[in-house]
Structure 1
Amino acid sequence: MIAFINVNKTYANGTTALNNINVSIEQGEFVAVIGLSGAGKSTLIRCINRMHDITDGQLLVDGVDVAKLKGKQIRRFRRRIGMIFQSFNLVTRATVINNVLVSLVPDLPMWRRVTGIFSSNQKLKALEALEKVGILDKAFIRVDQLSGGQQQRVALARTLAQSPDIILADEPIASLDPVTAKLVMDDFKRINQEMNISVIMNIHHVEIALEYADRIIGIRQGEVVFDGRAAEVTKDVLSYIYGGKMEEAAASAEERAFHVR
């Protein structure tokens, strides 16, 4: 379980990104975090794996006080949490399987890290992860030969190979065309349901959030202004979350997709 208890986050420049956040997320939930750009969506999910430190309050993951972790404790903790980015964060000149194997490097003894030699079991684990996202046939192809959607699936496979309990996704389909975006979202949904992995996703595409997520958290100016089932989200709720700027939000999402076409 993830629990935000009176959490605040203020950046060094004085900007308040999160204000008195109180949210609990159970294992296996699929949660979409929506709101205008700059509302605090990315900050919220990045606090979970300590990419950002909270300023006040308490953030617990299965009873672990995340803010109190140090050094190796943080690295071990992050092994349980996969992170998917909009930019994929892949080594494009390397093969698909080598990109997936990168997630297993922290578990290697030093001599394997230095030599880059992986065991047969680790290679099998990487191939199984690729099979789960439907691109096993691309295992030995260089990443720069793949489409954007296939690259995002490599990133998802890399995360699955580390056997996470939680997947955080920061605008994972923002740079994909609508057809490819739905295919990638199908992967997220299937993994969530079949493997009981919690998925917390920051997403600009409201209609896709409502279609795939079980639960919607709406953030406006750093505060949670809606937290409920996707089926409970109405036009009035969306207007409240976006402060009457739904058109601006839709245009922003469309602009992101346009830049990669």
Structure 2
Amino acid sequence: MIKFEDVGKRYPNGYEGLKHIDLEIEQGEFVAIIGLSGAGKSTLIRTINRMHDVTSGKLTVDGTDVMSLSGKSLRRFRRKVGMIFQSFNLITRTTVINNVLTAFVPDMPWYRSVFGIYNQEEKMKALEALDKVGILDKAFVRADQLSGGQQQRVALARTLAQNPEIILADEPVAALDPVTAKQVMNDFTRINKEMNISILINIHHVDLALKYCSRVIGINAGEIVYDGPAVEVDKEVLNKIYKGGREEHE
């Protein structure tokens, strides 16, 4: 379980990114986080793996106080929390399988990581991860030869190779065309159901959030203004979430 208790995030310049966040997310949920640009969506998910530190309140994952972690304990914790970005973050000048294999680098002896020496078990896990997202046939193709959707699937496979309990996705389909975005969202849905991985996705496209996610959290100016089933999100709820901005949310 991910649990926020009166969590706040204040940046050094005084700006409050999060205000009094109280939230519980059970294992296996598929949650969309929606709101205006700058509302606090990315800040919220990035506090979970300590990319951002909370400045007040308490954030726990499976009973562990995230802010109490450091060094090796923080690195071990982050192995359970996969992170996927809009920009894919791939090494484009090498093969797909080499990109997935980088998931094992944090646990490898320094000499293996320096020279890129992977054992048979690691290679098999990487191939299995690629198979799970339907691009096993691209394993030995250079990453820069793939489409945007295929590159995002490589990023997802790399995360799956970690064997995570949680996946945080920060605008993972924002750079994709509508058809490809739906394909990637289908991958997330299948992985969520088949592997019982908790997925929190910060997403701009409300239509995709409502179609694929079971729960929606709406944020406005750092505060949660809606938290409930996707099927109950109506025009009134959307007006509350997007109050004060002009972004499209159809």
Per-residue deviation, 1:72: 1.4
SS at match of 1:20: strand
- Equivalence for 2:209: 209
- TM-score normalized by the length of structure 1: 0.94
Identity of aligned residues (%): 68
Per-residue deviation, 1:177: 0.3
- Segments of 5+ residues of structure 1 without an aligned counterpart are 252-261
- TM-score normalized by the length of structure 2: 0.98
SS at match of 2:247: helix
Query: How is 1:59-138 mapped onto 2 (pairs within 5 angstroms)?
Result: 59-138=59-138
- Equivalence for 1:183: 183
- Equivalence for 1:141: 141
- Equivalence for 2:169: 169
SS at match of 1:227: strand
SS at match of 2:101: helix
CA contact (8 A) 1:204 1:249 kept: no
CA contact (8 A) 1:36 1:249 kept: no
- The one-letter code sitting in structure 2 at the alignment partner of 1:223 is E
- Equivalence for 2:47: 47
Per-residue deviation, 1:244: 6.2
After TM superposition, the structure 1 stretch with the greater mean CA deviation from structure 2, 103-112 or 77-86, is 103-112
Per-residue deviation, 1:115: 2.3
Q: Root-mean-square deviation (CA), in Å?
A: 1.0
Q: Moved runs in structure 1, 4+ residues, more than 2 A?
A: none
What is the CA deviation profile of residues 198-227 of structure 1, one whole-angstrom value per residue up to 9, with x for unaligned ones? 000000000000000010000000000000
Query: How is 1:211-226 mapped onto 2 (pairs within 5 angstroms)?
Result: 211-226=211-226
Q: Distance in 2 between matches of 1:250 and 1:92?
A: 33
Q: Distance in 2 between matches of 1:121 and 1:151?
A: 23
Counting matched residue pairs gives: 250
Per-residue deviation, 1:160: 0.2
CA contact (8 A) 1:126 1:158 kept: yes
SS at match of 2:24: strand
Per-residue deviation, 1:74: 1.0
Per-residue deviation, 1:250: 3.9
